[in-house]
Structures are given as C-alpha cells and as structure tokens.
Structure 1
C-alpha cells in the first residue's frame, strides 16, 4: 500500500534532505540527513526496509514546515500508527505531522503542481538572540516595497539560469514562478515564493539579489535585467540557508491530502 506523509523538520543540524550513503542514519543529526533518519524510523515501524520519495529536496540548514513524501509498504499499520510510531523513533528535530493512504498513482514529486518557500530576514542593527536558527539577519535598512516591485519581473515562465548554482543538476533552467511577495512585518522582511519547481539555490540567489535592491545599491529594474542575461555572475550573492523554510508542495484535490497541501479551488 502507498502512503503519503507530512514531515516537519528543523534542518539546522542536518546535511540536507537527501540520503547520502547507506550508513547515513546515525543518532547525531550533524552527520546525517533528514531522509535517512525518517527512513530508519519508518523501517522500525514496518519491521522492514522503507524507502521514501519527497516533493522537493532541501539543502543543509534549510527547514521544512510540511515536506510531503510517499512510500510503499506491505506492513499493515493504521495511518495513526505510522505517524506516531515513526515520530517516536525520530530525533526531536523531526516529526511526522500526518499520514494518509493514497492511490498507487500518487507521486510526492511528480503529482505536485507547485512548491512554496518562505525566507525570513530580521532587519535591524542587532543580531537575533531568540529564534536565530529560523532567521537570516541583515543590519542595513531594507525597502521591502522596492524589493517586492523588483521581484515581479520574475513572475512567469522564464529561464532562471542567473539564479541557480553552478552545481545544479537540473537538465534545464526553465521554471514557472507563479507568485513572489516581499512584505515587512515589524523588524522582519518576509519573502514568499511559489513556483512549479525550483532550481538548486534558486530562492536564496533571488533573495540575495533582492537585498541589493532593498538597500538602494541597485535599481528596481536590475533584477529583470539579470534574469534576461541568464548569467549567474551578474546576480547577487547566495543568501544564507538560515531563514529559509520549505513551506510545502501543493497537489490537486483528488489526491485526498490535507488542506494545507491542496490547491485552492
């Protein structure tokens, strides 16, 4: 039977999502990945090996609010048993929020129609003490409205070569960026991005470029010019992983998943 899970994790101590090696499942998160510890926990519940497929891999230090995975198992367990059993075997930085049986045709990656990220920047002269593992910090004043206006040049289907790392393994750089919003909430500047899919470091490179607009170092039209040039060396620096959260994917209603990962009507 095939199941889908909603997984929440603090990625600060992990080497990213993707399993690296067969022995990548130690007790110390600093030497393992989220996928490895999740598969080990599920395998204990199933009393047999379990392999998972995720909606979108995250890098070292990136957090997940509702990563969606699927797995197959012949073990007879109720969804609640998978959820609570796996969570009891996971380190404190990871939990399974929900489990749902799905059709055999469901695929965590290929069935997703969109993916969402949020990047939070504490914009004040003094670094954070509380919540610092979930915030990036930028001391210079930022114009969030200018950043938002500049970001709208990225909306639509484009070649995002200027915003992906040289190590990106995607066969092409065309992505459909469906929505990007930059807002200020007190001392925080928040960047929300939704696309059909993302390239390696794409969100962090976009944020790094928007920061240059926010300080006034670059004009609002500059981001669109960088996009059209398709040259990574022209864009801003890669923003730190701290502060980036994979909010989760979105699926068609017929997949039967919880509302937080279902496309609105």
Structure 2
C-alpha cells in the first residue's frame, strides 16, 4: 500500500497488534477482500488523515491469527504513541487490537529487521469437538503422543533446506532456514506445537504441524521427519495442518530496534 509523499519531518513507529484471523483473507491488501492491512490502514487514515505504508513482520494467510504481529510505518503525526493506540482501538473492528505503539529507530523495517519469529500451532485431540476455542484449534479425533512428536520435532532444529515443508506458490531466493526450537506441550485436550526460527517458508509451520501429527497418531515413526527433511521433496512430508490453528505469537528484534 503506497504512502503519500514523505513529509519533511517524520518518525518511525513500531506497532504490535493482535487479531482473530477467522474473517480475514490474510494480512496483505487484496482488492475486494477483507484484510488486516486494509482495516489497519483505514483506521490510521481516520485518526491521522494520513495514508500509511504498513509493513508487517510477515504476511499471515487467510484464517491465521496473531498475538504479536509487528508493523512498521513512518508518520508526520505528532500525537503521542499511547494516544494513537487508543484512537486506533476506538475505530478498529473488534477482531483487531493494537497492543502497543513504540517509537522506533529511523528506517525500522518490521520484516527485514526481524531476528526470529515464534509461531504456535494449536490442536484439540479428543473425540469430543471443541466448543469455545473451535475457531482456534485443529480438531484431531484421537489422542496424540506428544513425547513422540517432541522427538520428531528435534530432527528439525538447526539450519536446513526446508523445501520439503514449503507449499508451492511463493518465490524465495533460498529455502534454507534455521529452526531454533520446537516444543510440543499438552494441557488437558490441548496440544501446542511451538516453533521458533529465523524465518519461515510459505505454509512451513502448518506443514511441520501436519507432519508431527502423523507421528503423534502413530502413522509414522519419529525418525521419518528427519528423513522427509533430507528428501527435499514436499511429497515426502506430511500434509498441511488447517490455517485456523496457527498463531503468530511474537517477533524478536535486536536491542535498539525500538527506543
């Protein structure tokens, strides 16, 4: 989304936002579709009169949620950060919330300056369907063995070519990424797969989740995940998990990216 001509005096801001992705066609502006970027830009225009250039840490897909999406922009508005946050929350739809607005260093870029991101994939493993969180979890109708899933996830840690876990449709100069941590935890019928990495390919976390579920339900051995990674073939890994269970939890930046 293009901005108006840059004013002579401007400052960079770092917005941290959360959203329920259920009713959105993803983050990125798309003509005729409801997106997070469109709604946030519209709200910014209402309270400042500016047409902003909004850059997110990553373009979440349709149905994907966020607890800590980071957005950068520059503005000529002199309104304090807290006042801007309150103004945005007053006019935004109820499925987007501005959690914080902080001053950022000149040139701060939410995508390029990110050091790592943490995603969580949420599963309800029970014969009984979920009720209150049904829009935020993948319902798997059998108990999952999280110990096996955790062992399998360990085979993904490190710097590897993750082409086996990338869905076609996004052009990348490299499919090599570094996974820093994979953790599988349970609370009652809720299983969470938490993945932290320096970057992710298109649908990569959903492919990891779908693959680990194959291990958790006993269809595959834990060692299969490392074999699928080495195959460098999308057909060698498991299916993509549905979008509704995926949440962007947080994005980490170098100290000094905001002030």
- TM-score range (shorter-chain normalised) is over 0.9
4+ runs deviating over 6 angstroms: none
Distance (whole Å) between structure 2 residues aligned to residue 181 and residue 168 of structure 1? 27
Partner of 2:29: 19
CA distance in 2, matches of 1:82, 1:71: 13
Which residues of 2 match residues 1-265 of structure 1 at below 5 A?
1-21=11-31, 24=32, 31-256=33-258
**Secondary structure, in 3 states, of the residue corresponding to 1:3?**
strand
Q: Secondary structure at the match of 2:256?
A: helix
Whether the aligned pair in 2 keeps the contact of 1:209 and 1:223 (CA below 8 Å) is yes
SS in 2 for 1:204: helix
**TM-score, normalised relative to structure 2:** 0.93
Cα distance, 1:110 vs structure 2: 1.2
Task: Compute the displacement of 1:220 (Å).
Answer: 0.9
2:68–2:250: 8 Å Cα contact kept in structure 1? yes
Q: Which structure 2 segments of 5+ residues have no match?
A: 1-10
The question of whether the paired residues in 2 share the 8 Å contact of 1:46 and 1:73 is answered with no
Q: CA deviation at 1:242?
A: 1.2
Aligned-pair Cα RMSD in Å: 1.1
Counterpart CA distance in 1 for 2:103 and 2:258 is 9
Q: TM-score, normalised by structure 1?
A: 0.91
- The alignment partner of 2:210 has SS state of helix
Query: How far 1:130 sits from its partner (Å)?
Result: 1.2
Superposed CA deviations along residues 162-196 of structure 1, whole A, max 9, x for unmatched, are 00101122222100111111112111111000000
**Is the contact made by 2:207 and 2:240 (CA closer than 8 Å) also made in structure 1?**
yes
Other structure's SS at 1:75 match: coil
Unaligned runs of at least 5 residues, structure 1: 25-30, 258-265
Equivalent residue number for residue 263 of structure 1:
none
Displacement of 1:152: 0.5
Deviation of the 1:126 alpha carbon: 1.1
